[in-house]
């Protein structure tokens, strides 16, 4: 009897102890079946998920994002290019243009991005620059201009070659830049393009399955070669932004892209950190008596992870600005941070101008 009572009281003590223990469950960091993967916010470039994001590897036809971006920046969409024998005979995926056909750059870009046409890529390069080599030089120059540091291009189509490579991060940044252009968004988000309605020689159906599998998806580009494996760059609408997701050398790219998108939705919400025209500081101009307010010219809305502490630091010149200042001129910046790092920087704008009427300074500058 005594043993039974001891056992009973022991059980009561264990229950009492357990009832006062709070168990914290930590979710495991997401790991996807890809050599390299990343997700960034399409408005700010803030990294939301990363797995070997800067690893330099082949990227197959996702190369064509850069080809399209360069063509939109430097080309005339209504200009017609003749399809060369070189373009018509290129291997891999193509639209099927015949040597001697003349096609507008606008149509070629649709064939490039919807059908992953290698013949379109060659025709664009030869038509715009005269040769593939010269066009690739333009691609590499422009890549540096927009901050791509992990990339080098040897072709406009992305077939395997030794010195043709990029990273998930670079492709995400290039896509963010490209999505600033309306024509790019119109092309990569289209599921079906009627040739007759658009004055094209052919109609196009988009081979990018992500557009059909995620209702919020609005682009961007698939890719596959033996060396690069299966690749995918996607853009998916979330809140008032786009989440740009890149998976490289990923055998189940559609499913892993969905997993990354779900991870972002579950872990991030968008918050307004700075309001448009909010006065964040003042700068002294001419002399210390003259003050001009400094504001952000836009709402700064960023993705914030659960329980993340966000701070903002306003950086303004301490010295008096002894020069004429225009309204809307960039002076100083606001820096948005979390507990570990800087998330983004945005310029501050002057709310009004100032003309220094100091005659002595004017005479000195004149001479």
Report the catalytic residues.
61, 64, 116
Buried b (16+ CB within 10 A) or exposed e, 135-146: bbebbbebbeee
Spatial distance between the Cα atoms of 224 and 202, rounded to a whole number of angstroms: 24
CB–CB of 167/249 below 8 Å?
no
Q: Is the dihedral of CA 32, 38, 42, 43 positive or negative?
A: positive
CA dihedral 114, 116, 118, 120 (to 10 degrees): 10
Instruction: Give the phi and the psi of residue 177 in degrees, each rounded to 5.
Output: -65, -45
| Surface-to-core class of residue 60, CB atoms within 10 Å of its CB (0-12 exposed, 13-18 middle, 19+ buried) | buried
Spatial distance between the Cα atoms of 104 and 120, rounded to a whole number of angstroms: 10
CA distances from 93 to 96, 119, 224, 323, 338 (A): 9, 8, 10, 58, 44
Q: How big is the chain by its Cα radius of gyration, in Å?
A: 27
Spatial distance between the Cα atoms of 350 and 357, rounded to a whole number of angstroms: 19
């Amino acid at each position: 009897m005594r043993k039974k009572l001891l056992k009973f009281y022991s059980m009561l003590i264990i229950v009492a102890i357990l009832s006062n223990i709070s168990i914290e469950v930590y979710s495991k960091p997401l790991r996807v079946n890809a050599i390299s993967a990343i997700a960034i916010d399409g408005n700010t470039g803030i990294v939301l998920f990363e797995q070997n994001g800067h690893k330099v590897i082949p990227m197959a036809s996702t190369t064509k994002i850069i080809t399209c971006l360069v063509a939109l920046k430097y080309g005339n969409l209504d200009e017609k290019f003749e399809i060369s024998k070189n373009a018509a005979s290129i291997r891999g995926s193509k639209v099927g243009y015949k040597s001697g056909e003349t096609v507008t750059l606008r149509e070629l870009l649709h064939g490039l991005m919807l059908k992953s046409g290698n013949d379109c890529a060659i025709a664009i390069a030869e038509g715009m620059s005269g040769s593939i080599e010269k066009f690739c030089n333009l691609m590499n120059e422009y890549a540096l201009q927009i901050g791509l540091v992990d990339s080098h291009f040897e072709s406009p189509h992305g077939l395997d070659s030794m010195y043709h490579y990029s990273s998930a991060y670079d492709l995400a940044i290039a896509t963010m830049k490209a999505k600033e252009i309306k024509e790019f968004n119109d092309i990569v988000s289209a599921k079906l393009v009627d040739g007759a309605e658009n004055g094209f020689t052919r109609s196009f159906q988009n081979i990018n399955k992500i557009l059909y599998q995620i209702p919020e998806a609005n682009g961007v580009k698939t890719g596959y070669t033996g060396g690069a494996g299966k690749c995918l760059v996607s853009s998916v609408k979330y809140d008032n932004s786009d989440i740009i997701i890149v998976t490289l050398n990923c055998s189940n790219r559609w499913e892993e892209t969905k997993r990354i998108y779900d991870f972002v939705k579950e872990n991030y919400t968008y918050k307004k950190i700075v309001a448009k025209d909010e006065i964040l500081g003042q700068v002294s101009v001419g002399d210390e008596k003259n003050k001009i307010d400094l504001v952000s010219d836009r709402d700064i809305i960023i993705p914030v992870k659960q329980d993340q502490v966000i701070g903002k630091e306003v950086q303004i010149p301490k010295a008096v600005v002894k020069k004429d200042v225009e309204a809307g001129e960039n002076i100083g910046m606001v820096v948005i941070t979390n507990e570990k790092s800087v998330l983004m920087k945005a310029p501050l704008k002057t709310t009004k101008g100032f003309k220094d009427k100091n005659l002595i300074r004017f005479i000195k500058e004149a001479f």
